[in-house]
């Protein structure tokens, strides 16, 4: 009987030990038998050009030979990206998987390369990739040999110039003032800047430094006369004077344009006051209905009775020189001029808002009250 009790206790103890091992998921790994992952694709010294026209399309698929361990187990792979020749000191974790492959879309990889690694858009530069393999929590990592590749990223952000001046304390730095107005060019690499800015007197144009920061000491442009108050509409980087709006009617909402191409170097400043016009509006196509500028929100607004099944658009200064209609080029923003108008389906009272605060990304909204 005693022998039977001892045997029963031994069986219970053995079962308990097995249960503990199952609960703790305890596995002994012999690190001497570990092999690291090995990258097969992309190949070392390959070249990648990210496609701005297909942001959701696959840009790169990384494929590697799996890491092996002395005991079969689930392996977590982390893809690390870094600037070449940095020894991965500031590596970015750019993806994690338990498979032996991983894909980035153009948009995903571009975000890492431009926003985190700070590569310059549309400029080829070298990056490095390696695979970090780990098992369990806190397990020792193994690393694949790195590969180097050349990558050309892009940007969908338009290049900008800051417009500091007496209207905001003469400070171009976003870190030091609540708001810095900007003008933007039509595309990366272009020098034809424009935007709408509330101005009260004098101002200048300031470009970004290599890190994209706007500070004094960067390139800054002023009037080529070299004398404040004498406005030639010609820009210069050296010996410049401030640009001003004193002769244009003083404080107001201005359409500001500048071209910093060394063979152009021109600017223009035109005061604007906005309204709506069209068959849906009280004045028809013969007279504007004036909007009011909301300085706090930097938008033009009007609450107005509109006639259903009719049209309207925006124009400045009671003239057709500057007018805006719906998006006609597919970029999601309003366009100058054109023959296309906004339409109103039902008659009623509407709050109409024109937002020109983001250069070249102008929008409108209409809400029935």
Q: Where are the domains of the chain?
A: 31-152, 160-272, 274-368
Q: pLDDT per residue over 119-174, tens digit each?
A: 988 999 999 999 999 997 767 899 999 999 999 999 988 999 999 999 999 999 98
The CATH number of the structural domain formed by 31-152 is 2.60.40.3640
3 state SS of 134: strand
Kindly report the pTM of this predicted structure. Answer: 0.75
pLDDT at 140: 83
* Intervals of the chain under pLDDT 50: 1-26
One fold for 160-272 and 274-368? yes
Residues 6+ apart with CB under 8 A from 243: 202, 203, 204, 205, 222, 223, 231, 267, 269
Q: pLDDT per residue over 9-37, tens digit each?
A: 343 344 444 444 444 444 555 555 789 99
Residues 6+ apart with CB under 8 A from 368: 346, 348, 349, 350
Give CA–CA dist 305/295, Å, rounded: 23
Domain 274-368 part of CATH 2.40.50.140: no
131: left (phi over 0), alpha (psi -120 to 50) or beta: beta
Choices 3.50.50.60, 2.60.40.3620, 1.10.287.130, 2.40.37.10: CATH for 160-272 = 2.60.40.3620
CB atoms within 10 A of CB 322: 15
């Amino acid at each position: 009987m005693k022998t039977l009790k001892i045997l029963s206790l031994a069986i219970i103890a053995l079962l308990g030990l097995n249960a503990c091992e199952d609960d703790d998921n305890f596995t002994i790994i012999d690190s001497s038998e570990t092999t690291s992952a090995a990258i097969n694709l992309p190949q070392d010294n390959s070249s990648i050009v990210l496609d701005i026209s297909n942001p959701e399309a696959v840009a790169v698929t990384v494929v590697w030979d799996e890491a092996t361990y002395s005991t079969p187990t689930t392996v977590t792979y982390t893809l690390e990206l870094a600037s070449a020749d940095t020894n991965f000191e500031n590596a970015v974790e750019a993806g994690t998987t338990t498979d032996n492959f991983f894909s980035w879309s153009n948009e995903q990889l571009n975000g890492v390369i431009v926003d985190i690694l700070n590569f310059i858009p549309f400029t080829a530069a070298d990056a490095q990739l390696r695979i970090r393999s780990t098992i369990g929590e806190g397990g020792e990592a193994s690393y694949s040999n790195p590969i180097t590749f050349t990558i050309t990223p892009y940007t969908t952000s338009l290049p900008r110039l800051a417009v500091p001046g007496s209207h905001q304390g003469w400070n171009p730095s976003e870190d030091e003032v609540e708001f810095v107005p900007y003008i933007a060019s039509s595309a990366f690499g272009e020098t034809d800047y424009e935007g709408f800015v509330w101005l009260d007197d004098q101002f200048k144009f300031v470009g970004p430094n290599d890190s994209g920061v706007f500070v004094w000491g960067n390139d800054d442009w002023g009037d080529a006369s070299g004398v404040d108050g004498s406005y030639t509409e010609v820009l210069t980087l050296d010996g410049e004077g401030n640009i001003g709006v004193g002769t244009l009617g003083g404080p107001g909402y201005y359409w500001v344009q500048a071209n910093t191409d060394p063979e152009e170097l021109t600017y223009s400043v035109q005061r604007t006051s906005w309204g709506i016009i069209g068959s849906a509006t009280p004045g028809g196509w013969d007279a504007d209905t004036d909007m009011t500028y909301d300085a706090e929100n930097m938008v033009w607004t009007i609450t107005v009775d509109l006639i259903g099944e009719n049209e309207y658009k925006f124009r400045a200064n009671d003239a057709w020189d500057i007018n805006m209609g719906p998006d006609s080029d597919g970029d999601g923003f309003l366009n100058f001029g054109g023959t296309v108008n906004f339409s109103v389906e039902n008659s009623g009272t509407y709050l109409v808002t024109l937002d020109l605060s983001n250069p070249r990304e102008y929008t409108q909204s209409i809400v029935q009250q």
